[in-house]
Amino acid sequence: MDATQNTALEAIHEEVRRCQRCPLHVGRTHAVPGAGPCDADIMFIGEAPGFHEDQQGLPFVGAAGNFLDQLLQGIGIDRSKVYITNVIKCRPPGNRDPQGDEVGACRDYLDQQIEIIHPKIIVTLGRHSMARAFPEEKISLVHGQARKVGEYTYFPMYHPAAALHQPSLKQAIEEDFQKLKQLLDGQVKPNEYQAPPQLEQLSIDRKSVV
Ligand code: URA
């Protein structure tokens, strides 16, 4: 483990714990920066902390977390080997969906976490997390497909909490974990991601006004 990398990640964790960038800090017990080794090959990005995560300051420690542990064990990976975080770092009231301004306030933390860890694979859990890399996609169409976006390989999956309660999604996430193993073993290669045409146009328009 690289000491500089570890110090940089710890500094972000500390900044998140003290963060007051959006109103969610008012109601939190603990912010939940993320957990795992700074040199992890796989990074999981969920949506937002829930009740148990807020209580403990750790990601995925409730029912969805137990299921995630089982899924990891099913492909021979221990949780201690992966880095886990969320799109937003504080629990929204009543576990409602993250709002755009909250995602925006936390974006820079997630960008920095990705940059420091530089994972081989970024697994997005749920549509809010997927939207970061593929804002125009539908999770039902793209889950379980590895795509390269710039220097990173993204692998979108359903959220384990949703999969816990819907048998069809449970089967899909179990199958996607097998595909993740194939990807890790080099049996499957990621495709280069092509943004839908309207998005490409949007990014061209943006570049031309900057
Ligand atoms: N759901 C998430 O998206 N993140 C957590 O940390 C826990 C549950």
DSSP letters for 109-132: HHHHHHHHH--SEEEEESHHHHHH
Amino acid type, 117: I
**Residues, the chain, total?**
210
Of residues 85, 86, 84, 89, the one with CA closest to residue 25: 89
Gap between the Cα atoms of 162 and 28, Å rounded: 23
pLDDT tens column, 20-53: 999 999 999 999 999 999 999 999 999 999 999 9
- The 10s digit of each residue's pLDDT in 47-101 is 999 999 999 999 999 999 999 999 999 999 999 999 999 999 999 999 999 999 9
Q: Whose CA is nearest to atom 7 of ligand 1?
A: 60
pLDDT tens sequence across 132-166: 899 999 999 999 999 999 999 999 999 999 999 89
Residue 32, pLDDT score: 98
Please tell me if the CB atom of residue 59 comes closer than 6 angstroms to any atom of ligand 1: yes
Q: Does 208 have pLDDT greater than 60? A: no
* Contacts of 78 by beta carbon, 8 Å cutoff, 6+ apart: 72
pTM for the full predicted model? 0.92
What value does the mean pLDDT take over residues 199-207? 50
Determine if ligand 1 sits within 6 Å of the CB of residue 60.
yes
Q: Are 13 and 33 in contact (CB under 8 A)?
A: yes
DSSP 11: H
How many angstroms separate the alpha carbon of residue 113 from the centre of ligand 1? 17
Strand 191-192 to 42-46 pairing? unpaired
Query: Is the pLDDT assigned to residue 194 strictly greater than 50?
Result: yes
Residue 202, pLDDT > 80, answer no
Q: Residue 122 pLDDT > 90, yes or no?
A: yes
